Structure 1
Amino acid sequence: MKTIEIDDELYQYIAGQTQKIGESASEILRRLLLGDETAIVPANPEPVTPAVVAVVGSNIFDLINRQDLQAESSVVGRFLFILSTLARVHKKQFAKVLDIKGRNRLYFGRSAEALSEAGSSTNPKPIPNTEFWVITNSNTTRKKMMLTETAIKLGYSEQDAERIRDLL
């Protein structure tokens, strides 16, 4: 399995071509590009309109599936992928994550330096396709807590915040 980077607009187009729940990006591309008849397509597919997969006014569950997450081999990779997707969906609100802090350290910042100055051994990493950074040396339980708090700050219900946490 290879990984490729595509821009958000192209991703939205591919997602908009989904004809069945759980259809992978590979299956969609194989069907679109190669006309692969072996790609499983339901007899009466429900059309997916661009409004369903549009980023603005959308939520993370429209954009993330288990296959995307399995492509990330590490917890830190999945953590950054989920945060990046949340940032893409909630571009205007994502700065609210700057309010999420630990007892003695910042979890999010606008630079690696800001996070490094606020604690030792933070191992800050950029959240892909954003201007934000996050500490990554915390344990998985702390990362899950950070995802839960992020989701709640972005307006998700407690139940959906837990679903987001469980993606990690």
Structure 2
Amino acid sequence: MKSIEIDDELYQYIAGQTKKIGESASEILRRLLLGDAEAQVPEVSEVAAVETPVAVNSNIFDLINKQDLQAESSVVGRFLFILSTLARVHKKQFNKVLDIKGRNRLYFGRSAEELSEAGSSTNPKQIPNTDFWVITNSNTTRKKMMLTETAIKLGYSEQDAERIRDLL
């Protein structure tokens, strides 16, 4: 197997094209580029399982592939990937992240400008496949805290929120 390097934006696009749980990047690209007959049309039940918001007791960890996380070479890339997965699973609830704030700073917003106006050197990045933005210049400990708070806002238990945090 060969390895290639792609930028974060392209990787997030590829990951966003997932049609079934456990589908690898190679399978996604084969389906998109080559029209592979087996990969092209997933079963309806598999698509419904991915697109339906997951109940609180469902296992988000089945949707986050360890290989995909390891492919992200930076903490920011993994941070955005985890947030994007949470947003995909909890589409209707994800706007609750807008309530997560620091003492003097917004962590999440609807635009880069909103976050830039709320603090200096925030380095806002769009959460892939969403209309939400997040600051990315904070240290890893702060990013872990933001993931933990996000998971709790979305209804995860303390224990599962810590597991999500530890994916970073």
TM-score band by shorter chain is 0.7 to 0.9
- Asked if the contact 1:124–1:134 (Cα under 8 Å) also holds between the matched residues in 2, the reply is yes
Work out the number of aligned pairs and report it. Answer: 146
Name 2:14's counterpart in structure 1. Answer: 6
Q: Deviations over 1:84-140 (max 9, x none)?
A: 010000000000000000000000000011001101110100000100000000000
> Structure 2 length as normaliser, TM-score?
0.75
RMSD, aligned CA: 2.7
Q: SS at the partner of 1:103?
A: coil
Q: Counterpart of 1:167 in structure 2: which amino acid?
A: L
Cα displacement (A) at 1:26: 4.5
**Does 2:64 align with 1:57?**
no
Name 1:77's counterpart in structure 2. Answer: 77
Q: Counterpart of 2:46 in structure 1: which amino acid?
A: P
Q: SS at the partner of 2:51?
A: coil
- Asked if the contact 1:53–1:63 (Cα under 8 Å) also holds between the matched residues in 2, the reply is no
Higher Rg? 1
Give the 5 Å matches for 1:120-135.
120-135=120-135
| Unmatched tracts of structure 2, length 5 or more | 31-35, 39-44
Take 1:29 and 1:110, find their aligned partners in 2: how far apart are those partners?
30
Q: Counterpart of 2:90 in structure 1: which amino acid?
A: H
Name 2:162's counterpart in structure 1. Answer: 162
1:142–1:29 distance in 2 versus 1, CA, 3 Å = same
Q: Counterpart of 2:130 in structure 1: which amino acid?
A: T
**Does 2:95 align with 1:95?**
yes
Q: SS at the partner of 1:54?
A: helix
Q: Counterpart of 1:150 in structure 2: which amino acid?
A: T
Take 1:29 and 1:109, find their aligned partners in 2: how far apart are those partners?
31
Take 2:119 and 2:28, find their aligned partners in 1: how far apart are those partners?
45
- Asked if the contact 1:100–1:146 (Cα under 8 Å) also holds between the matched residues in 2, the reply is yes
Higher RCO structure, 1 or 2 (CA under 8 Å, sep 6+): 2
> Structure 1 length as normaliser, TM-score?
0.75
